[in-house]
Amino acid sequence: MCGRYVMSKATGDLLRHFEAKEVEGSPPPPSWNVAPTQDVPIIAERLAEDAVERRLLIARWGLVPSWAKEVKIGSKLINARSESILDKPAFRKAAIKRRALIPAEGYYEWEKTPDGKKIPHYLHSEKNELLAFAGLYEFWPDPSLPEGDPHRWLLSCTVLTTTAHDSLGHVHDRAPVIVPPEMFHDWLNPGTTDKTEVQKILDAIPEPVLTPTVVTDRVNSVRNNGPELLDPAT
């Protein structure tokens, strides 16, 4: 799964890396311990006057389906199993119409030991400063606010996960789906709305090469934040 990650890059760096043209919303501050229900930057594309526009949006991490009665369901939907997003009611509409990339520099995962301990690892790429998690986003109308209220619609997102293989499998059996740069548009393309085509894209995403580093248990608390969280444990 993906329950915490790092996103400390400036907004301008994200715009350049993902070739996005505009920002919608107020970007959150840099974080070395991004946690569920916090605001995070996401990348999405839309069709506008026969042209595709790529934008950076700010979304709440934890997807809230449009039909949800309460926002708190989002805390249970921070991840979506990629194998079932086209069928699960919470994700299937977004999988067809609202796919996103969620920028991250790396993510944390906890390895369970035979004696019951959990060892935190930081997983990152030694070649790429930025990763792009495959994600979905959704708009939820807050029933407590009137029509026309600028805060009525909540934008939320979820990170897709898949089976972890090879060097990552010993840390955790699930890992985020990471989209390589050459497939950014394939995943985001708003013109792709056929289930079969979406599945083909998912199937074509290669397994990433990531390096796990054991870090200290300071990352266990969301109150701790700073680049020192990435220091290897001694």
Active-site positions read 2, 109
Strand order across the beta sheet in which 118-124 lies: 31-34, 4-7, 106-112, 118-124, 211-214
- Cα separation of 176 and 164, whole Å? 8
- In angstroms, the Cα distances linking 31 to 40, 160, 172, 223 are 10, 21, 23, 11
What are 141's strand-pairing partners? 153
Whole-angstrom distance, CA of residue 53 vs CA of residue 49: 10
CB distance 234 to 149 below 8 Å: no
CB 28 within 8 A of CB 40: yes
